[in-house]
Amino acid sequence: MSEEKKYNKLIVALSVVIPLAVAILFGVKIDLELPVFLPPIYASINALTALLLVLAVLAVKKGNIKRHELLMKIAIGCSLVFLVLYVLYHMTSDSTKFLGEGIVKYVYYIILISHIVLSIAVIPFVLITYVRGITNQIELHKKIAKYTFSLWLYVAVTGVVVYLMISPYYI
């Protein structure tokens, strides 16, 4: 089996397993009080991820491939840490209800729903883009990277926006 086919199978598996695992773990409740309040931490990780993505694009545009690669690896690492903290928070805490009214409520839910849907959709894009980069398929990497960047940046930024909009309602 070629290296690309192995990666493709892994990409498909992770693209299905990660959202399913998150959905299943949301149903698991652990009676544990965390020593820190996680939402501002994982919102900050989202903000850092957005910054890293922008810096990585600037680095590659300047021809600094090594810096681009490093920043992308850190952004992927941040996304993994975010995911773990996000799931941990929801396993140990009740969901917070958004109490805003009027147009703000609709804006919040539009942003939240698009954020959730695209956070699932971005998984295979990130993995495919990463694999094409590390396997030196540069032209294919470039073709998908522009879409991956836009999706991932949207997810990271809207994660911060969702946090800022719901943060007044945390107990």
pLDDT digits over 24-79, tens only? 887 888 888 888 899 999 999 999 999 999 999 999 999 999 999 999 999 999 99
CA distance 19 to 83: 10
Burial of residue 127, with CB atoms counted within 10 A of its CB: 0-12 exposed, 13-18 middle, 19 or more buried = buried
Q: Domains in the chain, ordered, with CATH?
A: 34-169 (1.20.120.80)
What was the pLDDT predicted at 139? Answer: 95
What was the pLDDT predicted at 122? Answer: 97
Question: Which residues 6+ apart lie within 8 Å of 50 measured at CB?
Answer: 153, 156, 157, 160
CA distance 124 to 108: 26
